[in-house]
Structure 1
Amino acid sequence: MTPPRLPRRALLALGAGALAAPAVARAQTPPPAAPTPFEVRPLWPGAAPGGEAVTVQEQVVLRNPNGDPNDTAFVHVRDPWIMLRRPARPNGAAVLMIPGGGYQRVAVSKAGGDIDARLAEMGYTVFVMDYRLPGDGWAAGPAVALQDAQRAIRTVRSRAAELGFDPNRVAVAGFSAGGHVAGMLATRFAQDAYTPVDAIDRLPTRPDFAGLMFPVVTLTQPYAHGPSARALIGSDPTDAARDAWSIERHVPADMPPTFIASAADDRVVPVENSLMLWQALRAQNLASELHVFEKGGHGLTDPGQAGPPAWENLFDAFVQRVRSP
């Protein structure tokens, strides 16, 4: 903080009966400002790929018209970005957070939020990403958010040496429809979703850990989240399209260790989404951990529970305990 301006000096007595003169205050150099915990950068070095037919205009709206002015959502995303929150005491790992929004908007703020703040307090170097949406005319269609997620995790790894974390200890944490994006990132890393544009794109896209919180997983009936399914593959999709974009149907043998957390009383995304993915992981004997809370709804926030959501410490313990192959 800039120090207060010094008051004008008192008159200096030069001797008995001498004239007095004001002293000149010396200019002071303010102390260097502490580095800001936030930094927002564009995700792509130029225009995002495949936007030749995109005509929509990006908007930023309040999620609640009378709520917190920092509680925003991005609609018709054209210029996705990635935000960095630096920890005070780095623990050597990083987390890429992917927020939700039903594939119709991205519920994210450039001012950060409670979850990324708490993960930074645990020592994680935290990145939060914005991403493009499938209904806006991008050439990649349903894969457009995966393009941004692959670019984002490569961007995270490109900064490991600069920021002091291990590029082989990078987790992805996805929430709701962002859990579907994170799930695609954790299952489809063997195929590039876009043509490389620079040196960053030589880096791997496989997360070392995946955390999926109250995630959209399946697009099959009867447990598909209707709004996400319609935004991703249309209002009357074929069974083949539903299968192609259902995470639990495409689990590779080298999927990263996966942490899943949901609430039994989630009325938005049925908890069966989490159960189906865990069963698919278990069938291949892959490292995984599933937590189903009695209460918490869509968001895992239990009004009767004091302190941060329980899943945060459980996820931290999972990342610290499990070693990615």
Structure 2
Amino acid sequence: MNWFKWLVFGSMLLAVQFKMLSQEEINLYPNGVPNAIEDKEYQEEAEVKDGKVIKVYKVSKPTLTVFRPENSNGTAVIICPGGGYGYLSFDKEGIQPAKWLNEHGVTALVLKYRLPHDGIMEDKSFGPLQDVQQAIRYVRTHANELHIDENKIGIMGFSAGGHLAASASTLYNEVVYEEGTVPLKPDFSILVYPVISMEEGVTHKGSKTNLLGENPSKEEVEKFSTDEQINAQTPPAFLVHATDDGAVPVENSLRYYSSLVENNISAELHVYNQGGHGFGLKGRGSSTGWTKALENWLKDFGLCD
């Protein structure tokens, strides 16, 4: 099967898998995507392996895929998969965490957000932020039908998805898409080997370039360095990282954690000697089983069974 046929086949299986694995896939913008430039040649693609959608590319129509637990405890978590703002690691950093959260009574919603691209966005730096804010808006507005507490809505992100989750936690007052007056601040965040800073030498170069371009201004770098945007209203956070992460330096999580502590925000940070980058739920080396620490943290806040 050649490359083109493989991508077409993957795109077909993507829709099938959503139908099989989730109760509902929600169009975030039924009245049209904001900040959008129409490009009919820009079509969503997927990488499929063993019947699973591993990665998703070229997202132009953002969605939320809902995974409901057998017995909801009222908590909801919106999940932002990583992929350097170039693709979405949809299975390992989306579906798998959603299933784990379901096991603990948490309603999980996997966000398929737009990946920054000048060809489909008037301002690509704000595209993903618009989508995550709209996801929070949707979940909070539909709390009753989702059987959740509107004051127990968290955000979870991996790698570049961690940057998006941290942006949602610190830039919730940014007016990037106006639709109603629903509070857009998440109640807590879970940041897994996140990209936090846009500063050279600390950031993940690919994520920074994809989001802000080759030559961002000093103001853009500061705005999207989420550790610099923390204040006394920032929600509590759980962070996990590996010292030997060769893609996203552990300093990213250290900076976010330190800034939370300086602002008297409840925070928990787990740094493991081994794990590298992209270890997902299972961990790697000494980070294996890190989800037990997350489970305990969620229980401390009354967020999981």
Q: Normalising TM by the smaller chain, what interval?
A: 0.7 to 0.9
* Partner residue in 1 for 2:209: 230
1:183 aligned onto 2:166: yes
Deviation sequence 1:161-194 (CA, Å, 0-9, x none): 1132111011100110000110110001123321
Q: Give the distance between the partners of 1:146 and 1:58, measured in 2 at CA.
A: 21
Q: What secondary structure, in the 3-state scheme, does the structure 2 residue paired with 1:128 have?
A: strand
Equivalent of 2:225 in 246, 258, 282: 246
Structure 2 matches for 1:263-278, cutoff 5 A?
A: 263-278=242-257
Paired residue total: 280
Q: Give the distance between the partners of 1:116 and 1:315, measured in 2 at CA.
A: 14
Q: Give the distance between the partners of 2:96 and 2:212, measured in 1 at CA.
A: 32
- Which one has a bigger Cα radius of gyration? 1
Deviation sequence 1:269-320 (CA, Å, 0-9, x none): 1111101111111111211111101112212344457xx9533232232233
Deviation sequence 1:201-221 (CA, Å, 0-9, x none): 432111000111000000102
Q: Is the Cα contact below 8 Å between 1:41 and 1:81 reproduced in 2?
A: yes
Inter-CA distance 148–56: structure 2 relative to 1 (3 Å threshold): farther
Structure 1, 206-215 or 309-318: larger mean CA deviation: 309-318
Inter-CA distance 323–254: structure 2 relative to 1 (3 Å threshold): farther
* Partner residue in 2 for 1:71: 53
Inter-CA distance 312–56: structure 2 relative to 1 (3 Å threshold): farther
The aligned amino acid for 2:151 is N
Q: CA deviation at 1:87?
A: 0.1
The sequence identity of aligned pairs, in percent, is 33
The aligned amino acid for 1:154 is R
Q: Give the distance between the partners of 1:235 and 1:268, measured in 2 at CA.
A: 18
The aligned amino acid for 1:39 is E
Unaligned runs of 5+ in 2: 1-19
Inter-CA distance 157–229: structure 2 relative to 1 (3 Å threshold): same
Q: Point out the structure with the larger helix share.
A: 2
* Partner residue in 2 for 1:19: none
Report the TM-score when normalising by structure 1: 0.80
Inter-CA distance 165–55: structure 2 relative to 1 (3 Å threshold): same
Unaligned runs of 5+ in 1: 1-34
Equivalent of 2:117 in 120, 126, 135: 135
Equivalent of 1:80 in 30, 38, 62: 62
1:257 aligned onto 2:236: yes
Q: Is the Cα contact below 8 Å between 1:56 and 1:136 reproduced in 2?
A: no
Q: CA deviation at 1:36?
A: 7.4
1:284 aligned onto 2:267: no
Inter-CA distance 158–193: structure 2 relative to 1 (3 Å threshold): same
* Partner residue in 1 for 2:101: 119
Q: Give the distance between the partners of 1:163 and 1:235, measured in 2 at CA.
A: 41
Equivalent of 1:97 in 79, 82, 91: 79
Q: Is the Cα contact below 8 Å between 1:56 and 1:76 reproduced in 2?
A: no
Computed over aligned residues only, the root mean square deviation of the Cα atoms, in angstroms, reads 2.4
Report the TM-score when normalising by structure 2: 0.84
The aligned amino acid for 1:69 is G
